[in-house]
Structure 1
Amino acid sequence: MFEGILPAIITPFHRDSGMSLDIEGLRSNIESLLQRGIHGIVPCGSTGESATLTFEEHEQVISKTVEVVNGRIPVLAGTGSNNTEEAIRLTRAAKDAGADGALVISPYYNKPNRSGLVKHFTKLADIGLPIVLYNVPGRTGQNLLPDLVIELARHPNIVGVKEASGDIVQISRIIEGTRDEEFVVLSGDDAMTLPVLALGGAGVISVTANVDPGRMAQMYEAFRAGDLARARDLHFELSPLMRAMFIDTNPIPVKKAVGLSGMAAGPVRLPLDDLDGQKTEQLRKVLASYD
């Protein structure tokens, strides 16, 4: 179900005093992405500033995404938290809204022990919505090791992992250990999409696809068609843009890039702050090379 290019979409805000949700902008952005060949969509991930959304906003973004998508592609809703009860609430809300699955980050800051991680993810999987684990040690301070992911993959509702460890050996080990399961490994790093596909991964949950979904989709389709040379060419074409998405903390650059591209964006919420002038100019130059 979850394969190909799945943009982790930004959450657009109005430039009012409360930075309220721009629901019409969200709808417009999703429709634009749908017209450009994406294979799934991920609202309320870290790129969607989930950490600064209220429960009500979080649920509204997921509900609106499901409504706009209307079954055309899968919706994988971010519902993770470092508080298990909060994650349960968000996951149940996503299920009730009609999402196709939930992307669940490993609990950050708490640094739970192994048995705590197993119980946390199992409680969420038992809700009945397909769960994709999200491993991003740079944000959580804890790595989901391959043996743990392989164990969790045996649960019928734990269907995949977004792997953002940056460790290709680790990713290979997870793919090797889950080949007999109905389990997908998705890259959590745009620049590693092609290597992960080559190992048997299913695709990428992408930041860059907010800005150039068409070319990202073409790279994936070329690889699936067996045209490795074309896929590799597209990888290198996209590489400067991929790097530009991380000239500052995600989602600061991508949100600026989306806005500069004429789509709905608005500001980032504190404690994130806007991209400075020098980096904005750097980003403009990269975007201009893709016109």
Structure 2
Amino acid sequence: MTHLLATVTVPLVTAFDREGRPDPEGVARLLGHVAEGGISSLMLLGSNGEGVAVETAEVGPYVAAVRERWARLAGPSGKVLVAVSGPATRQTLARARAALDAGADALVVNAPYYFRHTDEELLDHYGRVDALGGRWIAYNIPRYTGNPLGPQLVGHLAALEHCAGVKDSGGDPAVLAGFVAHAADRPGFAVSQGAESAMVDGLLAGAVGITPGLANLAPGPCVSLLTAVQDGDEPAARDRQSALDRLAALHTIRPGVAATKAALALLGLLDGPAAVPAAPFRPYTPDENARLSALLHASAELLPGGR
């Protein structure tokens, strides 16, 4: 059976309504776009999805609504993973239960944020998640949590009953190699590369899939990069990586989710409140949008409609 992570997983942006509540209808066109690009797996409410801006009580209804729409678009192969970010174990567990009750195929669980924790404390945290009984993926994103997941800790996590793998957005090749070594020792445990600039390198190092934010904009090219690596065509994969790196320059204007949402608005995939990042982020200014439009035009071959 193909592993849950052995694919391109889109860390989907979250649309919000005028009151700042997550709005599943706001991502309808975007879901159709990524499905047409060959995507079967979504990750909701991660860093790219502004998950920490979503209240715990809003998680279940939002996940259920997006999952229902995604099932119609992606069919039986469609999967919905849900990131459950919390500053401490209690909040993480509440979000995890809500996501599982709403039909999430797996949880994506980062370390708690704000306070710094020992590896022993982090192992306790993940053990409580494992006790819920649903499949889950560890999520290493230390620039946001301040709590890196190292290879030694992930080795302990991989031994937990319901841990299916790790998504690594840390960007350290040595750490990724340590995660891959654990995957080699445990059937059913796998690694997804979350660092966009190192997708090919991560796959060649042993990651089975990728989770690039750029897949919101250019799902097809991300799928073709993965396919090229799987087919052993490294030159084609490197060419695709270079093209996607040029598109990733949109983050040199003003980085982060505001850039992605502004690009999706220019492409006609988000509009109105759905294209506005959660406060205190500010939308792009007219000058930033003009620079972004020129950058998107230079990457037209990767984008819908050949923009």
Question: Shared topology, TM-score over 0.5?
Answer: yes
1:224 paired with 2:230, answer: yes
Considering only aligned residues, what root-mean-square deviation do their CA atoms show, in Å?
1.6
Q: Which stretch of structure 1 is more off in the superposition, 277-286 or 235-244?
A: 277-286
**Contact persistence 1:146–1:174 (CA under 8 A):** yes
**Contact persistence 1:193–1:204 (CA under 8 A):** yes
Q: Which residue of 2 aligns with 1:78?
A: 83
- Alpha-carbon distance in 1 for matches of 2:292, 2:165: 33
- Cα 1:160–1:247 shift into 2, 3 Å: farther
Deviation at 1:256, TM superposition (A): 0.9
- Alpha-carbon distance in 1 for matches of 2:240, 2:277: 30
SS in 2 for 1:159: strand
Deviation at 1:236, TM superposition (A): 0.8
SS in 2 for 1:178: helix
Q: Which residue of 1 aligns with 2:278?
A: 269
Matches within 5 A, 1:105-144: 105-144=110-149
Deviations 1:112-171 (A, max 9, x none): 111110010111012111111111111111211111011111112111111111111111
- Alpha-carbon distance in 1 for matches of 2:266, 2:296: 9
1:155 paired with 2:156, answer: no
**Contact persistence 2:5–2:191 (CA under 8 A):** no
**Contact persistence 2:67–2:103 (CA under 8 A):** yes
Q: Which residue of 2 aligns with 1:100?
A: 105
**Contact persistence 2:110–2:138 (CA under 8 A):** yes
Q: Which residue of 1 aligns with 2:53?
A: 52
- Cα 1:30–1:201 shift into 2, 3 Å: same
Deviation at 1:243, TM superposition (A): 3.1
Q: TM-score if structure 2 supplies the norm length?
A: 0.89
User: What amino acid is the match of 1:65?
Assistant: V
**Contact persistence 1:246–1:253 (CA under 8 A):** no
- Cα 1:95–1:20 shift into 2, 3 Å: closer
**Contact persistence 2:180–2:205 (CA under 8 A):** yes
Number of residue pairs aligned between Structure 1 and Structure 2: 289
1:233 paired with 2:246, answer: no
Deviation at 1:247, TM superposition (A): 4.0
Matches within 5 A, 1:146-185: 146-181=151-186, 182-185=188-191
Deviations 1:49-92 (A, max 9, x none): 11111123222221112111224322111112122111111111
Deviations 1:193-240 (A, max 9, x none): 110000110112221000000111111111111111111111111111
Matches within 5 A, 1:249-268: 249-264=255-270, 265-268=274-277
- Identity percentage of aligned residues: 26
User: What are structure 2's unaligned runs of at least 5 residues?
Assistant: 301-306
- Alpha-carbon distance in 1 for matches of 2:286, 2:256: 17
- Alpha-carbon distance in 1 for matches of 2:225, 2:13: 22
Q: Which residue of 1 aligns with 2:296?
A: 287
Q: TM-score if structure 1 supplies the norm length?
A: 0.94
SS in 2 for 1:41: strand
Structure 1: 4+ residue segments shifted above 6 A: none
**Contact persistence 2:106–2:136 (CA under 8 A):** yes
SS in 1 for 2:52: helix
